[in-house]
Structure 1
Amino acid sequence: MLKTLFAAGLLTLSGTSQSDSGQARTGELPLVTKHTYTTTDFTLFSGNTLPEVKAGWESYGTLNDNKDNVILITHYFSGTSHAAGKYTEQDAEPGYWDAIIGPGKAIDTNRFFVISVDSLANLSAYDPHVVTTGPASINPATGKPYGLDFPVVTIRDFVNLQKQVLESLGIHRLHAVVGPSMGSMQAMDWAATYPDKVARVVSVIGTGQSDAWTTAYLEHWATPIKLDKKWQNGHYAKNDPPIDGLTASLALITQQALNPDFFNTQGHELNYQALEQGPLHDINTPHSIVSWLNQRAGERARLMDANHLLYLVRACQLFVAGHGDTMSKGLDNVSAPTLFLPASSDLLLMPYMARQAYQYMQGAGKPVQYDELTGTLGHLEGVAGIQQYGPQLKTFLEQ
């Protein structure tokens, strides 16, 4: 597991094909094509309007004649719409949930049409397979990147953009919405905002709202970027970005998304010791585990945009299911059977957050289930370890 995660350079909330998990792979998807959806005058939850929005999307499986076999996968914070499969035979790894999406798998593409859409302000703004509109995009009013002139976006805006993409394909109702982490926020907002369009919901390593603890926690992800002298209040050049701040943010996110057991195992592989000679004799020399973390964060930062990270942080901070005054008010609108799957070792979106939403819905007499993923990957258990719950997930989606 460790080798697969980091050989591919996967750091913040990323996944793996699980080819080393010991679980037999049922079937492979054909090569995946990235599509682009374009819309104009896109009105945001805040009331602001973007003159043009582009979003990348991809799909797996076949849409049936009634267009009622659709499962929407809503991606996590540093993820993209690349949930499964490969773009080329030469790709080192498939999409992050390939272990559960495909022919005969938990999300069976022999039966379902599975679709995913890039978020607005997608973190991987410079990934050649990502199509996204965000602060790094050109503002048509100025001919320059938006920077912080880009309006604040919310989870609701991600949902509404997905809804437009689906409607452009003639899809008006979803068999299910399934998503991890920030994707679970989108899944819950779908169910709370468009209850007549959602038949099932799966919230993986998720929550019904960002509480005070989480909002303050997330702010630490933004701070290193804002302290980087190259940030220039968000108006930096593409060829001279605040890379040090972004790298520090990604390193922080990575550690918080994992677990002490994972880090201590990795430290053992690196022969980490508290009294390493370099740090003992030079204050500028980091420990081996710190170098390891920073190196991989730096590799990831090359495809990411610092301002985009700030906007995603704010979208998560602003989240409450239904985007109303309270979580309970939003959850009152949910009618779809809902499955909460937090990870027991998660130190980021801790299980109590999913449990609060579950307990409220249970008390309100709604069809809701709760279970916990186990393992030592922390928050990443919901991405890299999701195959452990494959049979139960399959049952929930097909019942």
Structure 2
Amino acid sequence: MRFAVNLPALFTIVILVSVWPAQALPLVEKKVFTATDFPLFSGQTLPEVKVGWESYGELNESKDNVVLITHYFSGSSHAAGKYSADDTQPGYWDAIIGPGKPIDTEQYFVISVDSLANLSAYDEHVVTTGPASINPATGKPYGLDFPVVTIRDFVNVQKAVLETLGIGKLHAVIGPSMGSMQALDWASAYPEWVPRVAAIIGTGESDAWTTAALEHWARPIKLDPKWSDGNYSQQAPPTEGLVASLMLITQQALHPQYFNQQGEQLDYQALESAPLNDIRQSHSIVTWLEDRARSRADKMDANHLLYLVRACQLFVAGHQKSLQAGLSKIQAKSLFLPATSDLLLMPYLSAHTHEQLQQAGKISHYQELTGSLGHLEGVLDIQEQGERLKAFLADKSARNE
């Protein structure tokens, strides 16, 4: 079956997918969680935290059928379903979440939470606390006075949401990309909560290469004169820097094979007349990339992007001094699904974490996603591993079940 998908990395693509015989989810309702005096990993405290969350399926009487979905860098808690009948696109993992699908909402209560400093700060369907939020001490946006937040802080907000629902243990936690970081940190920080953890297109830590690569995402914003050391208004944001960052993120999240296919559709040529005759003009593929980034920039906040970059740069599972120390706490059965064509979080990162867990005597499985979508295989082509995920959730071999 063919259909168009709105890529989270800012453009549209048509892909082929396998569709399970299943019903559509009921319309999704965004709910809001609020907490005061929320302690952060850094030791600082946020006077108020407000985040959105969504759920699909029903919580059973014993409250032990909970699957937590942790979202990727530019994503949100909208993992599946639609907000209204005329929505053009469902949540990003709708292919595998729903009645009769691999993450079966007739069996599991599936829940997801917007991150702190969520990139889409101005999206009507996102609720987040971050640099664009009002600092109650000043009545103005926090800007760079907002404290640095970590993947552990995202996990702790999710835990607080779950506890308000009376939930004290998960059936599984599953997430792609930045979501894989959250999933693994869950398993390390709260091992008694997590019997199963699936890390899709992910890593157990931000190594030196990854940290430096992520810094390139932040640099265009910092070089935009309108950034003004983070003290800009929503009326005059550093849009050009943000667009440049989004262009880079989009390209790095894909594979050259996809870009070359897109170039063919655009009739891209190295010797195009516009860039040949005017240094200010761009090639068709560059214009295409910029247009897609610019179309989404107005819903996003530049400072939020910087804070998400820093959270990813600071990541090591368990938030201890070494990956080995963090992984030693994990009791969960683990599943790693990196993408062979991923040039962003390359497969060696998942493979290293998987091997470390096996060497420590933990139950861990590894399988690479194939295809030409690069990093986005784990978002847009995850149904390739739908049966594996279904079996993983059903397997009772987890030691702390």
Q: Scaled by the length of structure 1, what TM-score is found?
A: 0.97
* Superposition misfits of 4+ residues, deviation over 6 angstroms: 13-18
Alignment partners' CA distance in 1, 2:14 and 2:97 = 10
8 Å Cα contact 1:322/1:329 also seen in 2? yes
Amino acid at match of 1:89: A
The 1:111/1:14 distance shift into structure 2, 3 A limit, reads farther
8 Å Cα contact 1:84/1:97 also seen in 2? yes
1:8-157 superposed matches below 5 A: 8=6, 10-12=7-9, 20-157=16-153
Map of 1:398 onto structure 2: 394
Alignment of 1:173 onto 2:169: yes
Amino acid at match of 1:4: A
The Cα shift of 1:23 comes to: 2.8
The 1:325/1:15 distance shift into structure 2, 3 A limit, reads farther
Map of 1:326 onto structure 2: 322
| Cα deviation digits, residues 261-282 of structure 1 (max 9, x gap) | 0000000000000000111111
8 Å Cα contact 2:8/2:75 also seen in 1? no
Map of 1:366 onto structure 2: 362
8 Å Cα contact 1:13/1:77 also seen in 2? no
8 Å Cα contact 2:10/2:292 also seen in 1? no
Map of 1:263 onto structure 2: 259
How many percent identity over aligned positions?
67
8 Å Cα contact 2:2/2:17 also seen in 1? no
Alignment partners' CA distance in 2, 1:338 and 1:287 = 44
Specify the SS of the correspondent of 1:157: helix
Alignment partners' CA distance in 2, 1:13 and 1:197 = 34
| Cα deviation digits, residues 139-167 of structure 1 (max 9, x gap) | 00000000000000000000000000000
Map of 2:399 onto structure 1: none
Specify the SS of the correspondent of 2:225: coil
| Cα deviation digits, residues 36-64 of structure 1 (max 9, x gap) | 00000001000000000001000000000
| Cα deviation digits, residues 343-363 of structure 1 (max 9, x gap) | 000000000000000011111
Alignment of 1:306 onto 2:283: no
The Cα shift of 1:21 comes to: 2.0
Q: 1:287 aligns with which of 283, 289, 308?
A: 283
8 Å Cα contact 1:121/1:308 also seen in 2? yes
| Cα deviation digits, residues 154-207 of structure 1 (max 9, x gap) | 000000000000000000100000000000000000000100011100000000
8 Å Cα contact 1:16/1:98 also seen in 2? no
Amino acid at match of 1:106: P
8 Å Cα contact 2:20/2:100 also seen in 1? no
Amino acid at match of 1:287: H
Map of 2:208 onto structure 1: 212
8 Å Cα contact 2:44/2:147 also seen in 1? yes
Alignment partners' CA distance in 2, 1:362 and 1:148 = 41
Specify the SS of the correspondent of 1:250: helix
8 Å Cα contact 2:96/2:383 also seen in 1? yes
Alignment partners' CA distance in 2, 1:372 and 1:124 = 30
The 1:287/1:17 distance shift into structure 2, 3 A limit, reads closer
Alignment of 1:159 onto 2:155: yes
What CA RMSD, in Å, does the superposition of the two structures yield over aligned residues?
1.5
Alignment of 1:232 onto 2:228: yes
The Cα shift of 1:15 comes to: 9.2
8 Å Cα contact 1:16/1:96 also seen in 2? no
Alignment partners' CA distance in 2, 1:330 and 1:13 = 34
The Cα shift of 1:24 comes to: 4.3
Alignment partners' CA distance in 2, 1:241 and 1:249 = 14
Alignment partners' CA distance in 2, 1:246 and 1:226 = 9
Alignment partners' CA distance in 1, 2:234 and 2:368 = 42
Q: 1:343 aligns with which of 339, 342, 345?
A: 339
The 1:107/1:17 distance shift into structure 2, 3 A limit, reads farther
Specify the SS of the correspondent of 2:55: strand
Alignment partners' CA distance in 2, 1:292 and 1:177 = 36
Amino acid at match of 1:270: L
Alignment of 1:277 onto 2:273: yes
Specify the SS of the correspondent of 1:53: strand
Map of 2:248 onto structure 1: 252
Q: Scaled by the length of structure 2, what TM-score is found?
A: 0.96
Amino acid at match of 1:244: E
8 Å Cα contact 1:25/1:99 also seen in 2? no
8 Å Cα contact 1:358/1:369 also seen in 2? yes
Map of 1:4 onto structure 2: 4
8 Å Cα contact 2:10/2:293 also seen in 1? no
The Cα shift of 1:251 comes to: 0.3
Alignment partners' CA distance in 2, 1:96 and 1:187 = 17
8 Å Cα contact 2:214/2:313 also seen in 1? yes
8 Å Cα contact 2:226/2:237 also seen in 1? yes
